[in-house]
Amino acid sequence: MVNSFYQKRDLITEHLHLSLLTIKDGGRNYTLEVSSCCKGEQIKTGGYRLLVGVNAPEVLTGEPVNFGSPIIRRPIEVQVGVKLQQIIQVDQQSEFFHVVATMQMEWTDPALAFSPDTCQCRFKVFTEENFNQFITETRGRWPDFTLYNQQGRRWTQNQYVVILPEGHATYSERFTTNFQTDFDFRKFPFDTQPFLIRIDLLSEEEYYVFSDLKGFSEISKEHGEDEFIISKFDTDVSSQKASTEWVSSRFTFRFEAPRHLDYYIFRIFIPVFLIIIVTFITFFLNDYVKRIEIAGANLLLFIAFSFSLSENYPRLGYLTFLDGIMAITFVINAFAVIYNVYLKWLEMNNKRDKAEHIDKYMDWFYPSGFVIALIVLILVFF
C-alpha cells in the first residue's frame, strides 16, 4: 500500500491543505498530475512538496523519515545516435550486413557529479583500458545496452567515457560487427531492402529512456557499398517489452536501399532478351531440322545461364520476380523445341502444307505470348 501526501502552504493565509491518495498493491506506471483549482479562484503562489511512502502513515504528519530506495523517480534521458561509416559486406544468403559504425550516448546523472578539486581535473576520462574503473566508480550505474540484432562478436576499436563535474557523461564507441536483417526478395532485383541497427537498454524505463541525439546520426558518403543505393535514413525510439515484468527503451537506426540495376540489366535481362530473340528468329527458317538444332542449343544455353544465377541469392520458400522471368523464358524455349519437332513430324508424314499453315500463325503468337506473360508477371509482383 502506498500513501502519498500532497501539501500546499499559502504564503498569505498560511492555510494548510492536505490530501491523501491510496494506491492499490501491484500498481505500476501511475502518473500524478498537479494543477491549480478551481475556476474563478485566484491562483496563489507558494511552496509545494510531495511525500510518498510504502506503508508510511507518518506522511500525514508532514514529517516522515527518509530511508530506503526512492519510490518516485524521473527516468534519466539518454540521447543516442549512430554514425554508419562503412559497410564491409552485405551477405544476402545469410541475411546480414557487416559494418563499421560509431555510437554515442549522452546523459546527465547527478550521481556522477564530482568536485574538480578532488581529482585536480576539469573532467574524468575512462578509456577502453580503464573502463572497468568507470564501472567500479559508478557501481554499474550507467545506461548499459545491447545491440539487439547483432550477429557474432562485436569488435570494439576504441571506447571512452567523459564525465563533467555536473554529472554530464558522454559515452562513445567505434565498433565492427554484423547485424541480422530480414530481406524480402519477392521483387528481386527491383526490391528495396531494409537495414536496421537496434540498440536496447538493459535497464527498465523507470531508470533510463532513450531519445535521439540530434545532428549526430548519419551515413558516411564513403560507406563503400556498391550493390545498393544508400542515401536516406531515419531513427526511432520505442518501448520494448524486455520481460513480463518491465519495459526497456529501444533506439532504431534504419535505412532502406534499392539496388543498382546496371548489373542486372546487362548481365541478366539483356542475355535473356537475346535468348528469346534468337529462338524467335528460327521461326522464319523453312528447314525444321535447323530450327530444332538452334532451339535445342538455345535451351541448353539458357539452362546453364540459369544455374549460374542461382548462386547469387539464397534458396527461398517463395518465387521472386526474376524467378518468374526465368520460368517464362524456360517454358517458351522448351515449347519452341517441342513445336519445331512437331512441325518436322508433320513434314515427315507428308503434311507440309498443314505445318506451314500452323507456322504462319505461330510466328507472331510466340512473341505476343511472351509479352502477355511478362505483363501478367509484373501485375502479380508489383
Report pLDDT for 40: 60
The angle subtended at Cα 219 by Cα 266 and Cα 228, nearest 5°, is: 15
User: How far separated are the first and last CA of the chain, in Å rounded?
Assistant: 59
Quick check: 177 pLDDT over 90? yes
- Is residue 66 included in any domain, yes or no? no
Do 170 and 221 belong to one domain? yes
Q: Mark whether 266 and 254 lie in a shared domain.
A: no
Examine the domain organization and report whether 347 and 375 are in the same domain. yes
What is the domain count for the chain? 3
Left if phi > 0, otherwise alpha if psi is -120 to 50, otherwise beta: which for 203?
beta
Q: What pLDDT digit, counting tens, does each position of 223-244 carry?
A: 988 899 998 899 999 998 876 6
Q: Which one of 258, 292, 309 terminates a domain?
A: 258
Same domain, 96 and 178: yes
367: preceding bond cis by omega (within 30 degrees) = no
CB atoms inside a 10 Å sphere around CB 173: 19
Of 41-45, 135-139, 216-220, 263-267, least confident by mean pLDDT is 41-45
Residue 70, domain member (yes or no)? no
* Cα distance between residue 80 and residue 208, in whole Å: 12
Same-domain check for residues 96 and 182: yes
Same domain, 170 and 282: no
> ∠100-103-215 over CA atoms, to 5°?
110
Q: Are residues 240 and 276 part of one domain? A: no
Segment 93-149, tens digit of pLDDT: 889 999 999 999 999 999 899 888 888 889 999 998 888 888 888 888 899 999 999
Asked if residue 235 and residue 118 are part of one domain, the reply reads yes
CA distances from 227 to 96, 178, 179, 313 (A): 14, 17, 18, 13
Q: Is the pLDDT of residue 197 over 90?
A: yes
What size, in residues, is the chain?
382
Q: Count Cα atoms within 13 angstroms, Cβ side, for 81.
A: 15
From 50-59, 190-199, 205-214, 226-235, the region with the lowest mean pLDDT:
50-59
284 and 222 fall within a common domain: no
Residue whose C-alpha is closest to residue 7's, from 68, 64, 71, 69: 64
CA-CA distance, 26 to 22, in Å (whole number)?
12
Q: What is the CATH number of the domain that holds 130?
A: 2.70.170.10
Under 8 Å between Cβ of 223 and 254? no
Same domain, 225 and 114: yes
Picking from 226, 258, 290, the residue at the C-terminal end of a domain is 258
Taking the model in full, what pTM does it have? Answer: 0.74
Whether 128 and 237 share a structural domain: yes
Task: Determine, yes or no, domain membership for 168.
Answer: yes
* Same domain assignment for residues 220 and 242: yes
183 belongs to a structural domain: yes
- For residue 322, give Cα distances in angstroms to 253, 309, 316: 30, 10, 13
pLDDT at 12 over 50: no
- Looking up cell 504528519 gives 61
Residue 235: inside a domain, yes or no? yes
Query: Is 68 a member of any domain?
Result: no
Q: Which range of residues forms the domain containing residue 24? A: 2-61
